[in-house]
């Protein structure tokens, strides 16, 4: 097969061909590395490409197949890893100057699981610095461009992983989602993007932004592929105190099942002011399609979701203020020596952190300071509880909740950088599930008149990812959107 044809295959098709010996893992890896060389000059999705390491992993897979060993469910399938996932022997910077030169001595738990499943890690992807952003323009190393329109943002903070998947530079990718950082770029780049329930996937080795919100999730070209990846990376890990012992389902087995009788809750307020007309139209069309498939459509309400933005931008910066205190130039990364220890700390952090990270550290430190802790942080946590209760009430009436993923399609690069609040508003639909700790998936739900993807978000009960997969897969198969790809992709 040609390199282009190999890159156009799904990850599931690649695994089958490698397992059968139709192609070698080394052939597949070389094809994707060649594509990265060609495509990433324009998109800047990768911060580091580990060609030598990827080919060594691929050779290991090929030796195992020749020896008659049973191959893993992702054997020979190329994966891209967001650059806040620790990867043994490979630079991991969080797209920040302050971690320049840092090479972890260990793998994140999710990376370990991918390696055991036979996946081939081809490189580390660009991102908003320390996962703080909605456009990937906060990277210290320059923005990623959207494969559908290179003048537009790919979304953030996992924009590099979304762009790499959409442009077939990797079969799938991992990102992290704190307030929408998997789902929003998934919507902007027209791929499936799944945020699992908080605690479903270990956070060990994920460089923390906001510890009570961060969760690792996959990007893939189809729901079935995302389901397979989730089954691999999910599971208990004793190294993460928040990791659940809840059994891992066979998520891929949900694909192809009927959805007749399942109840889809539609939040009417989510289709009101501030949402682009084309997004509203696509969402209503998706609701109609699900009704055609036999789903029962019910109205639900999330009355406290309007406060999610304010609550999130108190809770997440407060936790970031604490988590990022460790980056002081003493043990790893950048160090700018001052006249004394305090000056060294100050100079290192001032030069190492970008403007958005500094902004959020200051917001968080203020929210935690004496006299303001109860007024801001504690109150935001109470709002978080109310949002979770709203979902509990909604799930008494429905099995999944449906909203758009983002109120707009991908905006122009530079369009919102001077207005942080306008940028934050891009996450108004993704924040409530994050605050509630619930699983949510973004799938392609249509396209705008100028050909940009529109994302559809489905949110499920805690640890009920299998229902999300079932409904998402049924819609994907019925909609026909899976066949739409960026213009240069076969």
Give the Cα separation of 311 and 431 in Å (integer).
Answer: 9
In total, the chain counts a number of residues equal to 490
Letter string b/e over residues 388-419, b meaning 16 or more CB atoms within 10 A of that residue's CB? bebbeebbeebbbbbbbbbbbbbbebebbbee
How far is 333 from 261, CA to CA, in rounded Å?
Answer: 54
Q: How distant, in Å, are the alpha carbons of 265, 288, 407, 434, 467 from that of 268?
A: 9, 14, 14, 20, 22
DSSP state of 431: H
Q: Please, which residues bridge with residue 300 across strands? A: 267
Q: Is 82 a catalytic residue?
A: yes
Q: 17, 24, 82, 139: which one is catalytic?
A: 82
- The Cα–Cα gap between 290 and 263 comes to 10
CA atoms within 13 A on the CB side of 114: 33
Identify any residues that bridge with 255 across adjacent strands, giving them in sequence order: none
Tokens of 264: 């889809």
| Rounded Cα gap, residues 64 and 75, in angstroms | 10
Q: Is 181 a known active-site residue?
A: yes
- Chain centroid to CA 79: 13
Q: Which of 96, 157, 222, 442 is catalytic?
A: 157
Cis peptide before 157 (omega within 30 of 0): yes
- Give the C-alpha separation, 287 to 274, whole Å: 20
Catalytic residue among 135, 167, 181, 222: 181
- CB of 92 within 8 A of CB of 111? no
CA distances from 225 to 73, 165, 333, 474 (A): 11, 12, 36, 14
19 DSSP 8-state letter = H
Catalytic (active-site) positions: 82, 157, 181
């Amino acid at each position: 097969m040609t390199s282009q044809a190999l890159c156009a295959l799904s990850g599931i098709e690649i695994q089958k061909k490698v397992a059968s010996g139709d192609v070698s893992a080394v052939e597949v890896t070389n094809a994707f590395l060649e594509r990265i060389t060609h495509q990433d000059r324009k998109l800047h999705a990768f911060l580091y490409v580990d060609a030598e390491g990827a080919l060594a992993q691929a050779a290991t897979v090929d030796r195992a197949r020749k020896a008659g060993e049973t191959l893993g469910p992702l054997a020979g399938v190329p994966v891209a890893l967001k650059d806040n996932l620790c990867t043994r022997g490979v630079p991991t910077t969080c797209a920040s100057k302050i971690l320049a030169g840092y090479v972890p001595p260990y793998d994140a738990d999710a990376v370990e699981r991918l390696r055991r499943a036979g996946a081939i890690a081809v490189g580390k992807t660009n991102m908003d610095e320390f996962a703080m952003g909605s456009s990937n323009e906060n990277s210290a190393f320059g923005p990623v461009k959207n494969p559908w329109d290179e003048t537009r943002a790919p979304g953030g903070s996992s924009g590099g992983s979304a762009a790499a998947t959409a442009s077939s530079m990797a079969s799938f990718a991992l990102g992290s989602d704190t307030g929408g950082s998997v789902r929003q770029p998934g919507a902007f780049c027209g791929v499936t993007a799944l945020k699992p329930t908080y605690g479903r996937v270990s956070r060990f080795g994920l460089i923390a932004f906001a510890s009570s919100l961060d969760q690792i999730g996959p990007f893939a070209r189809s729901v079935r592929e995302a389901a397979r990846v989730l089954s691999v990376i999910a599971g208990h890990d004793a190294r993460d105190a928040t990791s659940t012992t809840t059994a891992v389902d066979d998520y891929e087995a949900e694909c192809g099942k009927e959805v007749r009788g399942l109840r889809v809750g539609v939040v009417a307020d989510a289709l009101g002011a501030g949402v682009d007309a084309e997004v509203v139209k696509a969402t209503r069309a998706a609701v109609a399609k699900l009704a055609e498939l036999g789903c029962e459509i019910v109205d639900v309400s999330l009355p406290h979701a309007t406060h999610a933005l304010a609550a999130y931008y108190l809770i997440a910066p407060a936790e970031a203020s604490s988590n990022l205190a460790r980056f002081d130039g003493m043990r790893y990364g950048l160090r700018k020596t001052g006249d004394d220890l305090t000056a060294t700390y100050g100079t290192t952090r001032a030069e190492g952190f970008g403007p958005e990270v500094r902004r959020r550290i200051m917001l968080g430190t203020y929210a935690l300071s004496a006299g303001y802790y109860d007024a801001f942080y504690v109150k935001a946590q109470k709002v978080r509880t109310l949002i979770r209760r709203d979902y509990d009430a909604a799930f008494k009436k429905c099995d999944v909740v449906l909203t758009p993923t983002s109120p707009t399609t991908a905006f122009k690069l530079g369009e919102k950088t001077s207005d942080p609040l306008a940028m934050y508003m891009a996450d108004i639909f993704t924040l409530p599930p994050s605050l509630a700790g619930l699983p949510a998936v973004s799938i392609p739900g249509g396209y705008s008149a100028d050909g940009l993807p529109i994302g559809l978000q489905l949110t499920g009960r805690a640890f009920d990812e299998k229902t999300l997969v079932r409904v998402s897969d049924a819609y994907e198969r019925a909609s026909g959107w899976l066949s739409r790809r960026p213009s240069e992709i076969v």
